[in-house]
Structure 1
Amino acid sequence: MHVLLLNGPNLNLLGQREPGIYGCDTLATIETELTREAKADGVELVCFQSNFEGALIERIHQAMGESQGILINAGAYTHSSIAIRDALTGVAIPYVELHLSNTHAREPFRHQSYLAGRAVGVVSGFGAKSYSLALSGLVHHLRQGG
């Protein structure tokens, strides 16, 4: 099974950016741990991060015929990108939206997600553990025939 992990804008700054909200783990640390967890579960995980909407959309398109599932932390694009939603819908690959922080406990503009309505599930608010929980949920869904 092949799963694509997408991380959006500013997630390359994890470990430095607002650690009180996002924690102290770097993206590299999160990706390394998640890759280890995935491998132990028989899943090949490919990680991709970009600060550019178009690059994320291109990577979603490339996942067709390659990935059985997508994990996506679109960062601020969650609340603004219809284009990413359309790309995810267009490739018809099951995906889980995830966030380090609980977006519903933050500013009102973060309460809206353009991605959640089409997602298999949404995981937020558990810090770096959100990635592991999202992977577990997606793999379970895919193995159940989803």
Structure 2
Amino acid sequence: MQTTYRNRLFILVSILCFTSISAALISQHVFDMKPCSWCIVQRLIFFIIGIVSFVGYYIRSDILSRIIAIVISILSIFGIFAAYMQKVSYSESLSCMTTPADTIISSTGFDSSIPWLFNVYSSCADDPVFLFGVEYFVWSLSLFIILAVIAISAAIRNTN
């Protein structure tokens, strides 16, 4: 079984996503940094991208692997939007009103079935959380941009 350029990118994307989730869980459960609903939406997107890219690693069909790369690109763009919305929500939210992120999280059921991973513990009206002096949304936004670039590269690169 030969590993192609695209397959190596898929495993890299999967590792980056699950490392990001691990860092978020350490921040939450060890350092008591409580996630808001947009944080959890981003975590869910990282989780989905990680699974899709892991599956993509085992795909040997050029067309199917390109489709998976396109799906990862689209999911990464959703992640960029979610990170942006986290920032907008922090700066504009003065109440505890339900956001679209709250609706997404509650409709998936993950918050009740896997609460240690997907439960919301703070509001977007709370102060933003910083990691190494940088707001969390910047870390997440940066990683989603990197994932989008990697996925687009995987989609357009000819592996022959």
TM-score by length of 2: 0.26
Question: Which structure is higher in helix share?
Answer: 2
**Greater gyration radius:** 2
Question: Which structure is higher in strand share?
Answer: 1
Structure with the bigger RCO (C-alpha within 8 Å, sep 6+) is 2
